[in-house]
Amino acid sequence: MGNDGGSIPTRRELVKEAARAPSTAQVKEAQRELQEHFWTTCPLSHKPLNRPVVSDCIGNLYNKDAILQFLLPGEDVEGISSKADCEAVLCGRVKGLRDVVEVKFEVDSEHVGQAADTNGRREGWICPITAKQLGANVKSVYLVPCGHAFSEEAIRQLKGDKCLQCNEPYTEDNVIAILPTKETDKQKLLDRAQKLAEQNLTHSLKKAPGSKKRKKQTNGESTTATTETLKDTKTTGSGGRSGTSTPAPGPPSNGIKNAATAMLTARVLEEENEKKKRRKMVGANENLDSLFTKKSGDKAKADFMTRGFTIPANARR
């Protein structure tokens, strides 16, 4: 209770042991648990990682449908409160599908059909060269632009310049570490992304959108676009109306050449349309509509506000 003549304990009496820094084993264990989480869970949707899986320029893994849902305008990613949280996770590294590469993992046939493997996935991912299971315990890499994943040991020992599965050529800079733990590896990947940005290239080695430079005007000559516009424009009479007809708009096209990506995008759009339909159906409730007045001819029925009282037709003001 205090002020009763009792003694006041000092810090030395309350704190028996001083705080100790975590040991090396504890740090490694915490780091391994964190790696297992990112190897098994998408940081955007908080769902288990399942193919198709994509990676950004620093080796983080995401479900491809979560990235597509993030890139779609308007709706939030399922499992995250707002897109602001997604931006905090991505830090501006993903602005389009060109900024990610689909990682192609080799699936272990022994784990097919099982509920989950030791890393919590529904299928086992292995290195096609060493047959080691890729995960938190094995340093793994993938190649750009093909996206095939291997153990770092296999790439380091073979020292080739072509992918061991698809024979696609690659350079040493395009060997991307998956979920790197060392700061030096992360900085190396950031430096690579900066160099590509200076060359108007994205992480997938495709040209960044809007990188084409316009032709400069010289000696007072008009630009190509202006010349074509003047040629296509035809004026008739004093009204100055154009004589060319506007072509009818064709069917919408998403411009996605990859069939798998197009199917996944269509599925995400279909889910978004279903959500909008459900929201509209909530407002169309017959029980609520029955509470309000519905006019039939010249006579108005009483609603819940005027029920029990009717104004006579011959009433004087």
pLDDT in tens, 74-97: 766 565 557 888 889 999 999 999
| Residues 4 and 150: beta-carbon distance below 8 Å | no
Predicted confidence (pLDDT) per residue in 261-306, tens digit: 777 777 778 877 777 777 666 555 555 555 555 555 544 455 555 5
Q: How confident is the model at residue 56 (pLDDT cuts 50, 70, 90)?
A: very high
Mean pLDDT, rounded, for 102-116:
72
Q: Mind listing the pLDDT tens digit for each residue in 166-197? A: 999 999 999 999 999 889 999 999 999 999 99
Strands (E), 185-264: 235-236, 241-242
pTM: 0.62
Instruction: Name 4's Cβ contacts closer than 8 Å, sequence gap at least 6.
Output: none
Which has more pLDDT, 208 or 211?
208
Mean pLDDT computed over 23-28: 84
What are the structural domains of the chain? Answer: 25-198 (3.30.40.10)
* Cβ pair 77, 83 in contact under 8 A: yes
The overall average pLDDT reported for the chain is 75
Distance, in Å, from the CA atom of 181 to the CA atom of 126, rounded to the nearest integer, reads 20
Asked if residue 43 has a cis previous peptide bond (ω within 30° of 0), the answer is: no
- Single-letter amino acid code for the residue at 62: Y
